[in-house]
Structure 1
Amino acid sequence: MRAVTSWLSRIWRADALSAFGLAALLLLIFLGIFGPWLPLGDPTQIAAGPRLGPPTLQHPFGTDELGRSFLPRVVQGIRATFLLSAVAVLISAVIGTLLGMAAGYFGRAVDIVVARGADILFAFPAILVGLLVAAVLGPGQVSAIAVIAIATLPLLIRVVRSVTLSVAGRGFVTAAEVAGVSALRILLLHILPNVMGAVMVQLTYALSIGMIIESALSFLGLGVQPPEASLGSLLRQGSAYLTIAPWMVLSSGAVLSLAIMSVNLVGDAVRDALEPLKGRALT
């Protein structure tokens, strides 16, 4: 815990962009978690204000076509977008780490099967996968999680496989093999700790990709379904009233852009902390 606190304080002092990204990300996460208990209003209350009303002190983000306050709906959208993306990325991280380590360590047939499978998944656009999954499972949150996991899985497999290939040839792995240590123990105790840094960096970028995919799916009506809201579904809702109520698109679009930017900035900070010689401070 002390190491994490020291790392966060070092980021805050040394890199203004990363500090801004971290602050913005923490704010969005706070709103997403505690939004239902904050005095922002009910996101489902109809006629809370005038239909398509402009931003006011009572409704800072205006109201939608049903008179619902748009601010609590944006906060609800933050929670849905972050939660779905995080769950999907964690699933792909676990599967991708295991498959990537197996491909890099065992090689030969395992490497060929895993690498070619990742290439096949990588060849399909996320929207096409979303259409196929929605046709099988139906539109909704489960479909969105499945599509994000499928889209981010080959990226994680490639990264973990590459790092595993470099670690598997080192002396401490060879010594463990000579000593008769089982392959499972070598993967868990010797290789996994050495690939976790790369996994953590890739997780942050995969999260931003996941939010983009989730928003695109919800915008097309394949993700979060009404009356629940995500940032993508709010963009779709606001696009129908762009000329008369632009604040609906501007507010949800600005929050989505801020979320993606903050995750990428924090990802840069994580990369710089793990690979200081490649960081922005020395370039």
Structure 2
Amino acid sequence: MSAIAATMTSRPSPMWQALKKNRLSWVGLGLLAAIVLVALFAPWISPHDPLQQNIAYRLEGPSAEFWLGTDSYGRDVLSRLIYGTRVSLLVGFVAVLIAMLIGSTLGIIAGYVGGMVDRLIMGLVDVLLSFPTLLLGLMIAAMMGASLENLIIAIAITEIAPFVRVARAPTIALKQRDFVDAGRALGYGPMRLMRVHILPNMVSDVVVLGSLWMASAIRTEAALSFIGLGVPPPAATWGSMIREGFENILDAWWLTVFPSVAILLTVLALNLLGDALRDAIDPKTRSERA
């Protein structure tokens, strides 16, 4: 019996095997890990102070001293790009985490309770989905004002609806399963059934959606910062850097190109990782790859 147990313990899971076979997942994971390391070690790898102004070096192109050039205030673009990584990852992660917690909770409640509660929650979701994500974030950010906290809240609100739908659908199916009926027979209350029996069986779907929507959150943050509703200056954000470069696009191409490439790489890494996780948890996709 112990030998059988040891064999079962050491056997890799089908999800892990699917991830190992997907080379693009490792590309996304490696790229995302590099971006996270840049954000964590920004004070040590940044060659200059991102806020230090020096008009004498205004709008200088890439050189040995300033690898990615300088902006209209003489600030080092590379240093600001590195520190902007912190803002984008922080906003993306925290906003998605808030949306995931609220949306998953509402989705499980709607799917499990049903009836009027389900109709009320899904009616609210339909209202949120009737607005384009960027437009809804723009409206909320404009009403609340430009700050890091308000930006996170605005983006989180725009991303609650998808998590509600993703959590609700499996909840409706899971609440009819035998193990949930067995829990009811043992006298477990609805809160315990939702927390212990339903949530663990659908958390993988929510995590996959979170990785994909984190990319959307980073794009939304850059768009709101571009129009002045993001983190107030002089903080370095990719969206505000692109906005400044847009005003000098004919004379200083590097101001828009490098922040745009940073957004592209980050979104690409998250999408590759999210697609790989989605394929790994989908039994049909795993069987096709086998």
Task: Give the TM-score taking structure 2 as reference length.
Answer: 0.90
Instruction: Tell me the SS of whatever aligns to 2:41.
Output: helix
How far does residue 52 in structure 1 lie from its aligned partner after superposition?
0.9
Q: For 2:42 and 2:16, locate their aligned partners in 1 and report how far apart those are by CA, in whole Å.
A: 26
Tell me which of 146, 157, 176 is aligned to 2:183.
176
Shift of 1:133: 2.3
- Which residue number in structure 2 is paired with residue 191 of structure 1? 198
Q: Is the 8 A contact 2:245 2:253 kept in 1?
A: yes
1:12 CA drift (Å): 7.7
Contact 2:81–2:238 at 8 Å: present in 1 too? yes
Amino acid across the alignment from 1:56: S
Bigger radius of gyration, 1 or 2? Answer: 2
Match of 1:18 in 2: 25
Q: How does 1:1-283 map to 2 (within 5 A)?
A: 14-47=21-54, 50-279=57-286, 282=289
Could you say if the C-alpha distance between residues 134 and 12 of structure 1 is closer, same or farther in structure 2, counting changes exceeding 3 Å? Answer: closer
Partner of 2:4: none
Q: What letter is aligned with 1:165?
A: I
Aligned equivalents of 1:18, 1:131: Cα separation in 2: 32
In structure 2, how many angstroms separate the alpha carbons of the residues matched to 1:100 and 1:54? Answer: 51
Is the CA contact (8 Å cut-off) linking 2:49 and 2:79 kept in structure 1?
yes
Select between 42-51 and 215-224 the one with higher mean Cα deviation: 42-51
Q: Does the 8 Å contact 2:166/2:206 carry over to 1?
A: yes
Mark the CA change 1:162 to 1:19 in structure 2 (over 3 Å): closer, same or farther. Answer: same
TM norm structure 1 = 0.92
Partner of 2:3: none
Equivalent AA in structure 2 for residue 107 of structure 1: G
Q: Bigger CA drift: 117-126 or 194-203?
A: 117-126
| CA contact 1:231–1:253 (8 Å) conserved in 2 | yes
Moved more, 229-238 or 48-57: 48-57
Conservation of the 8 A alpha-carbon contact between 1:48 and 1:69: no
Distance 1:126 1:273 in 2: 28
Q: Which runs of 5+ in 2 are unaligned?
A: 1-8
C-alpha displacement at 1:278, in angstroms?
1.7
Please give the per-residue CA displacement for 1:185-236, whole angstroms capped at 9, x wherever unaligned.
Answer: 1011100101101111111011011111111100110011110021111111
2:193 counterpart SS class: helix
| CA shift for structure 1 position 154 | 0.2
What RMSD in Å do the two structures reach over aligned CA positions?
A: 2.4
Question: 1:40 is paired with a residue of what secondary structure?
Answer: coil
3-state SS in 2 of match to 1:258: helix
Question: What is the rounded CA distance, in whole Å, between the counterparts of 1:25 and 1:10 in structure 2?
Answer: 21
User: How many residue pairs end up in the alignment?
Assistant: 281
